[in-house]
Amino acid sequence: MAKHWRTFFAASLMFVCAGCTHTQGPAPAVAALKPTGFGSVLIESSGSKQIGPTGMVLAQPLVVQVNDEQGAAVTGALVEFSGPAEVSFDPASGLTDSSGQLSTNVALGGMAARYQLTARTLAKTQKPIDLKIEEIALGYQEQLGFQLDNKYCARCHSSESSAERVSNYDNLAVKPHPFAEGDTLNKMTDAELTSIISHGGPALNKSALMPPYGYTLSKSEIDALIAYIRLISDPPYRASGMVYAKP
Amino acid sequence: MQSSKNSSSLWQTLFGHPIRAFGVVSLLLLILLAVAPAKNHFSEWRHYQNKYLSLIGNRSDAVTLQRHFHDHDGIQQIWLPQLGVVDRCTTCHTGLKEATLADVSAQPFRKHPAIPHTLDQFGCVMCHRGQGPATTVEEAHSSTLAWEQPILPARYVQSSCGQCHRAPLTGTPQLNLGRNLLSRYGCVHCHTIKLPDGTAMKPTDDPPSLEHVADKTTREWIYAWLKDPQAYAVTATMPNFKLSDPDARDISAFLIANSTPIAGDTAPLSKNEKAPDPTAGASLYGESFCASCHAVQNAAGNVVGGDVGPELTRVGNKVKPEWLQAWLHNPRIYDPGTAMPHYRFTDPQLSLLTAFLGNKTDSDLLANVHLDAATPEQIAHGKLLVTDYGCASCHEIGGIKKPDNFAPELTRIGSKPLTQILFLPGMTHAIPDYIAAKIRQPRSFGAALKMPQFTLAPAQIDALTTALLALTDRAQDMPRALTVPAKPPSNYQPAGRAGQLMSDLACFSCHAINGRGGDMAPDLTWEGSSVQRPWLQAFLKNPGTLRPALIRRMPRFNLSDGDAAELADYIMTVYQNPAFDRDSMPNSGYPPAQVEQGKQLFYSKYACQGCHIVDTKTDKGYVGPTLTQVGSRLNAAWIYHWLKDPQAMRSGTIEPNRNMNDEDARALTAFLMTQKGSGKQEAKK
């Protein structure tokens, strides 16, 4: 009889406790890499300042290079990549190859934002050497804006020229503003941008070389374009108006 | 002994006296009764809701946010019976609809990014998967014993769009790419993918028939190609079957032995005393715009050119010169369905081009390939291997039937039960990881597997995984009324002799007409309304440049006068826009005042010179076509209607709709119709 009571009591205790437990997954084990070389400078070789959709692998790998004091490439230096919680690197760390380089595929997080990533290598003195890298992730809306930019705007607004799409920037009597030109575009309100895109340059007393797109693009397309322009702007755009306390 | 004594004394203390026993039992009952409210109070979701309240508490719009929250505290549920959605995700994801939380990155409080669908109409699991009715983090996001489908990683989220949307969407580039790759890399030759509308996904690659392959190439090349297709051409879509040397030897032996000749697919080479001028060959290659479809890898390793036809970097290693010359003469003898146009090259041009392409070789490619004469056993073994590896799924091979369902069907791969999947050690037990690993390295799941190794970039693997993840039970069982079907493919074929000519010239490889064809060159559905007949005929004979900045241009086919006239007649008669009469406005004779007004409008109000050139001395716009001869190229009625609504004349054109009034459109038309060109060739560049 006594046994029964105790079992029942214990069972009910466990039942109460089960409601409060939070299960935690095991931490992934990382195989330790032994560096065979140490550098003093970490430089970015390619793959920074890319623009890609949220959560997806960037089109180009991120390549960094470790050099020594003389500027010669260091083989076998350990480089570790890190970033905000949702950013993933494949591989997250590794040893530099014979040209002193390590390449990683970066998948950005789920939030449309600028992502500050860090590459770190250790000097011989175990002092960490950091390299800051920035990539931009586009959400659905910004991605749509990016595609619209590619189709309608970039021919004039970007001076980048390729065989597939020759830039018209240099041919224009009045130079358009590149979309990343934050110094100019950040001062314009969303309403002003909507107005100049919809009604053309003359709407803001600017050049008629900017044609109106209000009868070609939908309202949501123009919003998408503005969301994209705001995100890629350099220096970054801060919406005026409400000021938030830090959470 | 001791413990039993202890316990019996404890028993005595608690239940020795009836009143004490009653008190203890009551207390126990009270504790048990408190279990349910305590579980509720300490539940995960309440913890997150409290955290949310403290997060919004010190924001400037706290009152609004709190009011929104208190309208919806407690467990939330989105119930959409038609879609089978019961989602309680909004219980913890409290800030999804709050526009002012744009700066919050902490989960689960993030604002949902702007998308074309609303939460209330679609719920969460439609796109993100996971277990909707769950109210704990673990059960909602991970796979549990009772629930296999964990949350979909953000990198594949576009696959969910593909469950309802069959047509390509602007907002889902990754899904569109993945679907293209499924067709372009020929995945669907071996794997059947049935679409919800009952049709099967069709491949868009055109693997060559191997029935006459010995006319075209050598056994040595086939051997080297089989061993490593990408060593011949980095852009080759043929996968690597990781064949052993003897297997590659035997397959090449069989393919050569099995090949039958066809009349006319080789041509005797002309005996030229002097070697052809290499620069003349290069310029003929350039003038014929071969690079619009064919790529060549340059010294820096970059692949330059189009991807309609095969890469030609080492074509001299592959094709026999006498075959190449016959192919260039008329490709339709060897392959009636090829995308390659039938150029009317002259004999000197043929030998020039044959020599030029024949010199595109890589001395290393076949240097180490030495094959002895094939034995009957090798040939028989080769045939066995060809059947085994399912080569006939893609290539036509004489005497071997195309196998049905050679590889597993992928119609519902996105919902494949995890219990049916053999995961590799260390692999995350989830469908996306399985699919991606399988595409990345098929043979890592077993060396004896037949699936070959494809050469794909990480982004391409993600795109393919996304496209495959869209093939779910939900996609198959979705009520038809709720899906957005793709436009059915058009099998439009123009009639008569002109139709034959258009097939012969492979017009559809670049131009689309009535929904069929490529997108490299302008859609010609209404070309007859657009252009004037004399210009069209002259252009067909000798295509000039309308857009100086373009690298891809209409090639010159050396058409005869008769053929050019036949085509021009057909286009002018058949490809007319029913919305207006092309002869409703005169092509000349506009009053000078109106022309002058049009000129003013062109340069000031509408600033057309930003994109177009009328006066080559002053205008520099290289976005749209040059308009110096537009008055002898286009019909006035077409220009007028184009100015009024460009997208109605050609959907997707980037010329903006200016909402132009009638008077302006007429004046601009009058001005443009005076641009008849100088008669001479336009200024170059």
Closest C-alpha among B131, B128, B134, B122 to residue B91: B134
Taking CB atoms and an 8 Å limit, are B58 and A247 in contact across chains?
yes
Answer positive or negative: Cα dihedral of B503, B505, B509, B511: negative
- The verdict on B243 and B359 lying in the same domain is yes
Mind listing the pLDDT tens digit for each residue in A190-215? 999 999 999 999 999 999 999 999 99
Taking CB atoms and an 8 Å limit, are A109 and B154 in contact across chains?
yes
Domain boundary among B426, B457, B482: B482
Q: Say what the pLDDT of residue B271 is.
A: 62
Q: Say what the pLDDT of residue B612 is.
A: 92
Kindly report the nearest CA distance between residue A15 and chain B, in angstroms. Answer: 8
Task: Count how many pairs of residues, chain A against chain B, have C-beta atoms within 8 Å.
Answer: 136
Q: Is residue B385 part of a domain?
A: no
Does the CB of A17 have a partner CB in chain B at under 8 Å? no
What is the CATH number for B609? 1.10.760.10
Q: Say what the pLDDT of residue B274 is.
A: 59
Does the CB of A188 have a partner CB in chain B at under 8 Å? no
Closest C-alpha among B653, B498, B305 to residue B507: B498
Closest C-alpha among B244, B242, B252, B260 to residue B383: B252
Q: Is residue B59 part of a domain?
A: yes
Taking CB atoms and an 8 Å limit, are A12 and B31 in contact across chains?
yes
Q: Would you list the domain boundaries of chain A?
A: 41-138, 140-232
- The verdict on B623 and B552 lying in the same domain is no
Instruction: Say yes or no to pLDDT of A6 above 70.
Output: no
- The verdict on B57 and B146 lying in the same domain is yes
Contact of A87 with A117, CB cutoff 8 Å = yes
Kindly report the nearest CA distance between residue B606 and chain A, in angstroms. Answer: 7
> What CA–CA distance (Å, rounded) separates B616 from B634?
19
Q: Is residue B128 part of a domain?
A: yes
Rounded to two decimals, what is the model's pTM?
A: 0.85
Count of domains in chain B?
6
Q: Predicted confidence band at A118 (pLDDT cuts at 50, 70, 90)?
A: very high
Taking CB atoms and an 8 Å limit, are A2 and B7 in contact across chains?
yes
Q: Say what the pLDDT of residue B684 is.
A: 34
Taking CB atoms and an 8 Å limit, are A55 and B610 in contact across chains?
no
Architecture per CATH, domain A41-138, reads as Sandwich (2.60)
Closest chain B residue by Cα to residue A166? B549
Closest C-alpha among B622, B662, B620 to residue B643: B662
Which of 34-93 (A) contact B at CB < 8 A?
A: 53-57, 59, 61, 84, 86, 90
Counting as low any pLDDT under 70, the low residues of chain B are: 1-7, 270-276, 548-549, 678-685
Q: Say what the pLDDT of residue B680 is.
A: 43
Kindly report the nearest CA distance between residue B390 and chain A, in angstroms. Answer: 33
Chain B interface mutation, best of A51, A138, A140, highest count of B Cβ atoms under 10 Å:
A140
Q: Say what the pLDDT of residue B32 is.
A: 93
What is the CATH number for B430? 2.60.40.420
Taking CB atoms and an 8 Å limit, are A53 and B174 in contact across chains?
yes
Q: What number of residues does chain A have?
A: 247
Closest chain A residue by Cα to residue B304? A163
Q: Say what the pLDDT of residue A22 is.
A: 42
ipTM exceeding 0.90? no
CB-hemisphere CA count at 13 Å for B87?
A: 23
Residues in A touching B170 (Cβ below 8 Å): 144, 147
Q: What is the largest CA-CA distance in chain B?
A: 126
Q: Say what the pLDDT of residue B683 is.
A: 37
> What CA–CA distance (Å, rounded) separates B601 from B595?
10
The answer regarding whether domain A140-232 maps to CATH 3.40.50.300 reads no
Q: Is residue B581 part of a domain?
A: no
Taking CB atoms and an 8 Å limit, are B115 and A140 in contact across chains?
yes
Chain B interface mutation, best of A7, A63, A244, highest count of B Cβ atoms under 10 Å:
A244
Q: Say what the pLDDT of residue A247 is.
A: 41
Mind listing the pLDDT tens digit for each residue in A146-187? 999 999 999 999 988 887 788 888 888 889 999 999 899 998
DSSP string covering B342-383: -----HHHHHHHHHHHHT---TTTTTT---PPPPHHHHHHHH
- The verdict on B24 and B75 lying in the same domain is no
Answer positive or negative: Cα dihedral of B11, B13, B19, B24: negative
Mind listing the pLDDT tens digit for each residue in A11-40? 444 444 444 444 444 444 445 678 888 888
Range(s) of the domain holding residue B28: 2-38
Q: Say what the pLDDT of residue B3 is.
A: 55
Q: Say what the pLDDT of residue A4 is.
A: 54
- The verdict on B222 and B327 lying in the same domain is yes
Q: Say what the pLDDT of residue A40 is.
A: 87
> What CA–CA distance (Å, rounded) separates B84 from B479?
11
